[in-house]
Amino acid sequence: MQSFVYHGLPSRVVFGQGTLSRLAEEIEQLGCRRALVLATPHQQEQAREVLEQLGERGAGLYAEAAMHTPVEVTERAMRVVEELGVDCTVAIGGGSTIGLGKAIALRTGLPQVAIPTTYAGSEMTPILGETRDGIKTTQRTLEVLPETVIYDVDLTLSLPAGMSGTSGINAIAHAVEALYARDRNPVISLMAEEGIAALARSLPVIAENPSDQDARSDALYGAWLCGSCLGAVGMSLHHKLCHTLGGSFDLPHAETHTIVLPHAVAYNAPAAPEAMVRIARALGCEDPAAGLFDLARAVGAPTALEEIGLTPGDVERATEIATRNPYWNPREVEAEGIHRLLHHALVGRRPASEKGAHR
C-alpha cells in the first residue's frame, strides 16, 4: 500500500430523525447563550421556528443568505452580529446559508452549528467560497469548519424532488474528485465510494417518492460521507469549473455541479483509471461519465448548461477564467480540451469517458 496522510477534522455530528430537538442542548455544550439563526429568504419561516425553539438562547434571525456567499451580504450580517451581541450562529438550510455562517466565523471566530436541509455537504468542510465583484475565490482553513452538525432526516422530507436530485449529485461530485485527489488516502476513498453508492441508489427512489424515509436517510448519510471527503482532501478540475460558472456567470450551484460532473469525469478518465473503476462500481455501470449523466436524467435534473442560463458566447470567457489559475488535476488542464468540455456541457451531450493515458 502506498504511503498516505489522513487527518480527521474536529467536528461533532448528530445524525438521525428528530435530532433538531437537541439544538439547544448542543448550543449549551458549546458554552453559548445568544445564537443568531441564519437562513435564506426562502427558508425564513423555518428559521423562525428554530429561533422560537431556542427560547432565551435565540438572539435573533438573519435571513438574507444568498448563493455563492456575496461579501456584501456577509457585511450586512456582520452588523447584525455586532448589534445583537451574539456568541454563536445556527445555519439552517443548504450551502448558501452554511456558507454565510462560515464567512461570519472567519471574521469573528464565533462557533457554528450547521443544520443542513439539502445534500450539499458544505457543513463538513473547512472550505469557504466567497464572491466579490463577480469573481468567486475559495480558501481552506479550520476557522470556518462548523463545530457541530445536526443531520435531521425529517428536515429533508420536504426538499422538492428536483432539488434533491441536483443537491445529491452535487454531493457525489465531492466524492468523485476525492477519489483522484493528489492527497487522497484509503480512508477517504472508502468513504467516497460508499457515499456515491448511497446517493446513487437513493436519489432515483426519492425522485419517484420524495417521502420515502429510508431513501431520505440513505441520501443524507451519503451526503455526510461525500461532504467529509470534500473537507479532507483537495478538489480538482470539476470544482474549478463550477466555481467559475457560479461566481462569474451567476449559475445556480447544485444544477451547475450536476451538469458539469459527467463531462469533468470524461476528461479526467484516462489519467485516473483506478478512480474510474470505483466510481463505476458505486454507480453500478460500466462508464462512469455516462453513468453520472444517466443518473441526472433519471432524477429529472437538467443536463445542459444552456438550460440554466449559459450562452454559447460565454464559453470562451469561462474557458479563459477556468484555465487562468487551475487547481491541481490528474490530467493537464488544456484550454482546447476545457473549451470542448464546456461546449459539450452547454448543449447537454451525453459524454463517454476518454481513453488513453493523459497526465
Question: 287-301 pLDDT, tens per residue?
Answer: 999 999 999 999 999
Rounded Cα distance between 333 and 16, Å, is 41
Mean pLDDT for the stretch of residues 138-144: 93
- Indicate the SS3 state at residue 18: coil
Beta strands of the chain (E only): which ranges?
Answer: 12-16, 35-38, 58-62, 88-93, 112-116, 127-132, 135-140, 148-152
Report which residue type is found at 261: L
Annotate 66-113 with DSSP letters as a single string.
-TT-BHHHHHHHHHHHHHHT-SEEEEEESHHHHHHHHHHHHHH---EE
Domain segments of the chain as ranges: 12-156, 161-347
Mean pLDDT for the stretch of residues 88-115: 97
User: Which of 37, 30, 32 is closest to 61 using CA atoms?
Assistant: 37
| The residue count for the chain | 359
Residue pair 104/64 in contact (Cβ under 8 Å)? The answer is: no
User: How, if at all, do strands 127-132 and 135-140 pair?
Assistant: antiparallel
| Cell reading at 140 | 481552506
Task: Provide the CATH number for the domain formed by 12-156 in this structure.
Answer: 3.40.50.1970
Question: What pLDDT, in 10s, does the model give residues 274-323?
Answer: 999 999 999 999 999 999 999 999 999 999 999 999 999 999 999 999 99
CATH fold of 161-347, please?
Answer: Dehydroquinate synthase-like, alpha domain (1.20.1090)
Task: Give pLDDT, residue 356.
Answer: 55
Report whether pLDDT(2) > 80: no
Share of the chain above pLDDT 70, in %: 98
User: Which of 271, 258, 250 is closest to 328 using CA atoms?
Assistant: 271
Report whether pLDDT(355) > 80: no
Residue 140 has a CB neighbour count (10 Å cut-off) of 14
User: How, if at all, do strands 135-140 and 148-152 pair?
Assistant: unpaired
Rounded Cα distance between 306 and 309, Å, is 5
